[in-house]
Structure 1
Amino acid sequence: MRITARGAALLITGPVLLAIGFGFGYPELAVLGCGALVAVLLAVGYALWRPVLGVTRRAEPDRVMRGEDCGMTLTVRNGSRLLAATLVADDRCGPTVVPVPVLRLRPGNDTVTEYPVPTSRRGIVTIGPLRVVRRDPLGLATVGRAHGEVARVWVYPRVHLLSAVPVGVVRSLDGRVDRVPHGTITFDALREYVVGDELRHVHWRTTARIGELMVREHLDTSLPRLVLLLDDRLAAHPDGTTGTGNDLTADSFEAACEAAASIVMATQREELPLALQTVSGEVVGGDGRRPATARSYLDLLAEARLHPAGDGDDLDGAVARLRHRRAGDTLIYLTGPGTNADLGLVGSLRGAYPTIVVGALGAAQAMRAGVEGMVVLSAADGAEFASEWDGVRGW
């Protein structure tokens, strides 16, 4: 609650008038002082009354590509049976504030406000909560409260069409053209049973031991398996850095996210397994906690941010994890302008990953491969990366 300047003036002058009125025998001044204090008390009580509001919001859609249209529909309903809501309200949509008309909202009625959600930047746009300010008629006191839940809109990086993806070392017997899995089917892991799983895949011994249905998950090792490592270290993207905290980003990092999104959509189109990892440790696919779906991959790319030194700034650890648990046969490393030390460190994985592709985004000039057999694609932005990618022969 906040007392306005007018209310503070009455709180100061009220006791003074009372003191002068009683001390010098002026009842009129005493009445004025008492009225001032009573007015402030009534204003506080009026402002403290909490309106019964129902707030619902709906984003259409809640996941969009950068630059696409997205709208928010906000509905505010007065749940009171007797009293009308006379309020001043505004909704926060990312960095902007949107006014919401709630003046003289009758009991049982609602008001609907629609406004666009900014999608010019990759990331997560936080919307809400609705901030409602109640003020007394004399303007002596105001109370601001938050109503409703916070909604989020995922803004994905732009996707550039890639005509092909690496085929890896081991190929399916009939190639990837017919999209039919062939080759060696091997046991990969045990997981909990979900509706739709075949009962012949149930591992009864483990089920009996833990008391829950567990099924065997198999992997076709003849299909090429790709690993995408996104460098989200601030040290890898030193130029063009903007924002602070969780909004810290750089032009080269935005280009790397666009390149990663393009690769994700290309692998989804070709129905190829992909493990997406960040240097800071986030994983989708492979052993990641999130399911390997296009939405999960793109959600991670929308949430990705740059980590300063000491906060996920450990390329050595990421390389060690990839070496310890080989997640595929083709490694794609997306970074900033790139340094020889970083390329050499990633090149040390050549024994575990026969094919290594490096995307140096934001590079002023072409980078050279750190080891033999490494393909380095230097590009200024995501569109140029897609062009360089499609220009590689032998995919």
Structure 2
Amino acid sequence: MRQNTSRAPISDTGTATRGSTSTRFGDTQRSTGYLGAGRRRARRWWRRNRRRMRRTAETITPTGYFVLGAAILSLVLAATLGWIEAWFVAAVFGVLLLLGLPFLLGSRAYLIRIAVDRTRVTAGGRVRLGIEVENAGARPALPATAELPVGEALREIAIPFIGPHGETAIPVEIATTARGVIGVGPLKLARRDPLGLVRREITWRDRHLIHVHPRTVLLPPGSVGLVRDLEGASSRRLTDSDLSFHAVREYVHGDALRHVHWKSTAKTGTLMVRQYEESQTARAAILFDADRTSYSDDEEFELGVSAAASLGLLAVREGRERFIASQWAPGRIRPSIDGLEELPAQTPTQLLDAWAELEAAEEPLPIERLARHLAESRRPLSIVMLVTGSVPDPSRLRRAAAAFAEDVDVLVVRCERLADPAARLFDAGTMFTVGALDDLPQLMVRGGFA
């Protein structure tokens, strides 16, 4: 288990700061007179006690502040107007506040550590925690209830009776039903009165982040844009210097003499040079449509994330040059100008962590504009995969695919939950309709992408 050795609670006590004289341009400036000395004493008192005052203010709950305010108001009305009822209300509320103070007395010498068996899990799995509690005091610790934040939820942890210098381990299991990042901790031990007027908390700093990766499926090895040999796969782009010979042409001023084809020159009597087809390596781009309105519901959005993550893992495992982008990237505060946010994809773990943190874009661009921006970015691409939902109609998807050059293979993955899997060819590429994640490998084979 991965453990954090920070077992002591966060200290909320501070070191008192002594007063000192202030200097300016080398001259010592001292306040004179009784008023100046009083100000210095007040500042020193505030520096020494401001943390204590802040902790005292945090001890009273909102309900307690309401009771305290009502007591003070009743006391003022009773003193000014002589109302007996106001005296009674002030006395009752004051007694309630005083009765709550004994519940905050005493302390627990706990040393707590949270141990996590793993910090990365696939959606639908489980993470096991071990909360190790040690009583470092010489007196027994009575049972208590601690609060453990788990994502947006708050789990109550029952700490049993622990003898002097004893310890116990409390197992906790977390079900990861959805993709995302779950924060576990810090653990808090709260003491409060039965009416909830006052509250005292002790917090331990041990905290963990659990990345819940999206579900992925193993795809068959792809061949589109994939280099099968060391020389690369030839394209339809012509160049003057490469490895794949195409034809010969007449010499033009500025051509390198090392490309002169002497046999053709001898036959024609004209200086001829070689012309080549440009060889290209496997350069893949995966573009995910993070516009929430492109999907009918949240489950369909998660289906799109899983499909895009599966395609990204295939590119990483095959070692392709890749550009994996979305309309939102983890850590970005403002969107980029062209709307393309590249996700880190050096390793499978890094890529899956990025997909776990990905959220729907706040100011999304249409899929057609994203595709056009990717085509205009002048990245040397051999295959482009666009992943979107069921809301964009096929005409929009065809326009998005038509933005790329003719020598770029375009695959549009349209996620429509519970739909029948289908593969359809159109002028600019191929369109897959994916109703479940397990449909994607079959469509890759059927569409000739594997």
TM-score, L = length of structure 1: 0.66
Deviations 1:348-374 (A, max 9, x none): 3321761111100116575865x5241
**1:56 aligned to which of 104, 113, 120:** 113
**1:228 aligned to which of 269, 286, 290:** 286
Is 1:379 aligned to 2:423, yes or no?
no
SS at match of 1:320: helix
SS at match of 2:186: strand
Judge conservation of contact 2:188–2:202 (CA < 8 Å) in 1. yes
In structure 2, relative to structure 1, the CA distance for the partners of 1:384 and 1:143 (3 Å cut) is: same
Please list every run of 5 or more consecutive structure 2 residues that lacks an aligned counterpart in the other structure: 1-59, 83-89, 234-241, 244-278, 332-339
Is 1:118 aligned to 2:175, yes or no?
yes
Is 1:260 aligned to 2:317, yes or no?
no
Q: Distance in 2 between matches of 1:125 and 1:139?
A: 29
**1:333 aligned to which of 360, 375, 386:** 386
* Paired position in structure 2 for 1:389: 444
* Paired position in structure 1 for 2:15: none
Deviations 1:120-171 (A, max 9, x none): 2222222223232113699874324543344221121222221222431765
Please state how far the C-alpha of 1:37 moved relative to its aligned partner.
5.9
Q: Distance in 1 between matches of 2:196 and 2:227?
A: 75
Aligned AA for 1:336? G
* Paired position in structure 2 for 1:168: 225
Please list every run of 5 or more consecutive structure 1 residues that lacks an aligned counterpart in the other structure: 24-32, 177-183, 186-220, 242-249
**2:415 aligned to which of 357, 361, 367:** 361
* Paired position in structure 1 for 2:209: 152
SS at match of 1:299: helix
Judge conservation of contact 2:371–2:403 (CA < 8 Å) in 1. no
Judge conservation of contact 2:423–2:447 (CA < 8 Å) in 1. no
In structure 2, relative to structure 1, the CA distance for the partners of 1:298 and 1:138 (3 Å cut) is: closer
Q: Distance in 1 between matches of 2:379 and 2:228?
A: 17
Q: Distance in 1 between matches of 2:379 and 2:366?
A: 18
Q: Distance in 1 between matches of 2:156 and 2:395?
A: 52
In structure 2, relative to structure 1, the CA distance for the partners of 1:36 and 1:263 (3 Å cut) is: closer
Please state how far the C-alpha of 1:291 moved relative to its aligned partner.
5.4
CA RMSD, aligned part only? Answer: 4.4
Q: How is 1:197-346 mapped onto 2 (pairs within 5 angstroms)?
A: 222-237=280-295, 239=296, 241=297, 250-280=298-328, 288=342, 290=344, 292-308=346-362, 311-315=363-367, 316-317=369-370, 319-326=372-379, 328-337=381-390, 338-346=392-400
In structure 2, relative to structure 1, the CA distance for the partners of 1:40 and 1:346 (3 Å cut) is: same
> How many matched pairs?
324
SS at match of 1:148: coil
In structure 2, relative to structure 1, the CA distance for the partners of 1:223 and 1:8 (3 Å cut) is: same
Judge conservation of contact 1:55–1:148 (CA < 8 Å) in 2. no
Deviations 1:20-63 (A, max 9, x none): xxx9xxxxxxxxx9999689548437627665544432322211
* Paired position in structure 1 for 2:61: 2
In structure 2, relative to structure 1, the CA distance for the partners of 1:263 and 1:48 (3 Å cut) is: farther
SS at match of 2:356: helix
Aligned AA for 2:305? C
Deviations 1:187-208 (A, max 9, x none): xxxxxxxxxxxxxxxxxxxxxx
Deviations 1:308-337 (A, max 9, x none): 4xx234542463145214153211111101
Judge conservation of contact 1:162–1:390 (CA < 8 Å) in 2. no
Please state how far the C-alpha of 1:260 moved relative to its aligned partner.
2.0
* Paired position in structure 2 for 1:193: none
Q: Distance in 2 between matches of 1:109 and 1:299?
A: 39
* Paired position in structure 2 for 1:92: 149
Q: Distance in 2 between matches of 1:327 and 1:55?
A: 54
My pick for the range that moved more, 382-391 or 329-338, is 382-391
Aligned AA for 1:147? W
Q: Distance in 2 between matches of 1:347 and 1:172?
A: 28
In structure 2, relative to structure 1, the CA distance for the partners of 1:149 and 1:377 (3 Å cut) is: same
Q: Distance in 2 between matches of 1:327 and 1:174?
A: 17
Q: Distance in 1 between matches of 2:403 and 2:223?
A: 17
Judge conservation of contact 1:159–1:259 (CA < 8 Å) in 2. yes
* Paired position in structure 1 for 2:159: 102
Q: Distance in 1 between matches of 2:63 and 2:144?
A: 16
Identity fraction in percent = 21
**2:401 aligned to which of 312, 324, 347:** 347
Q: Distance in 2 between matches of 1:335 and 1:112?
A: 46
In structure 2, relative to structure 1, the CA distance for the partners of 1:48 and 1:375 (3 Å cut) is: farther
Q: Distance in 1 between matches of 2:159 and 2:63?
A: 21
Judge conservation of contact 1:66–1:157 (CA < 8 Å) in 2. yes
* Paired position in structure 1 for 2:87: none
* Paired position in structure 1 for 2:267: none
